Chains A and B, each alone.
Chain A
């Protein structure tokens, strides 16, 4: 998982607008991916990511460089996602799958689309805490200690959440494959 050159963060922290723009460019897609998976809806995800970067800019002067920048960014992003989840008590999780894939030019593979939809449905059925832990660990590649700083939960609890999420996803998608 690539990480940003810290000199860019330092320049952004000192108020360099171009460096901040580079920082946004660097992390936007990953942030959007996390938010889409957490919120299940690309419009809300886009709003959460935009809010996140505005808040990152406002809080950069408080960022302590002993903390990994990625953890700090994801802490703010995870906060925004939780706030959005609370604000929109969703009766329905509408997933806009077409927005997920980057290579829109390729012809649609029906099996791949069905598989993707099943994954999204299973992910949406997970409790939010388990979904968050699973995504941070396996999709974003954070260490458990970093995840603790992002979520405020203990390492043992996070390991249990990831384990339960894996069990649930494995079971659910194995059923799909058998069907």
Chain B
């Protein structure tokens, strides 16, 4: 590796050496590819064979934190997506997404107006807090994430912004370790470990989380991505991974 030392040391070198081991390739791998190519050319199988969706890619920085840290990253991403052909005005990005400025302003105004109309027409209901509850749960406690304690605060603004204690609970009696990862702890699997109740096998932790919408998941035994069984789910914009959603402080 040319410049492993820029990031690494002996430990990284050992990891990389292990990861460089090539897997065994099935003997019929190439034959299967050719058979699928033939089928696709005859119009069987993959309908997107030869589509333009493959070789133009965009992926913005994975986290808003990275976006903030590197404000040029977004523009880099757009440049990266446009292939040499695209830079000459023939790429998918330029063909599909460039619209004139007056049209863009018109669409924005129309969307804003529609938003106001819908907002006025639909009666507003107070938001429900996210409280996870699993039918036939083996423990009395509800599973998932729930707001536990509201802290005292000196002013309304401070109260609105002050972190709340959120209790994360997961019933995983056979797990060796459970952590919670989410946007509130930078998806760091080592930051928030849950403690196991030895009698029930239920894992829980109290975590300070600022009010607002948050996404999270449990990591069981350091590798098993587990969603809250009772919380709504969403997909990560970049990678499509499912995450649980909670609203903190919307009581």
Q: Residues on A close to B: CB < 8 A?
A: 17, 20-21, 24-25, 28-30, 32-33, 36-37, 42, 46, 49-51, 53-59, 62-64, 66-67, 72, 75-76, 78-79, 82-83, 85-87, 89-93, 99-102, 104, 115-116, 119, 121-125, 127-130, 135, 138-139, 141, 148-157, 160-163, 166, 169-174
Contact = CB atoms under 8 A, between A and B. Distances in A.
Contacts, number: 234
Contacts of A125: 189, 219, 222-223
B120 interface: no
B72 A128 contact: no
B135 interface: no
Nearest to A37: B19
Contacts of A89: 227, 235, 240-242
Contact of B187 (A54, A63, A127, A139): A127
Contacts of A75: 55, 57
B65 to A, nearest CB: 9
Nearest to A22: B30
Contacts of B60: 152-153
The size class of the interface chain B forms with chain A is 35 or more
> Majority SS of interface residues in chain B?
loop
Interface of B: 1-2, 4, 7-9, 11-12, 15-16, 18-26, 29-30, 32-34, 36-37, 40, 46, 48-52, 54-55, 57-63, 66-67, 69-70, 72-77, 79-81, 83-85, 187, 189-190, 219, 222-227, 235, 238-242
Nearest to B67: A157
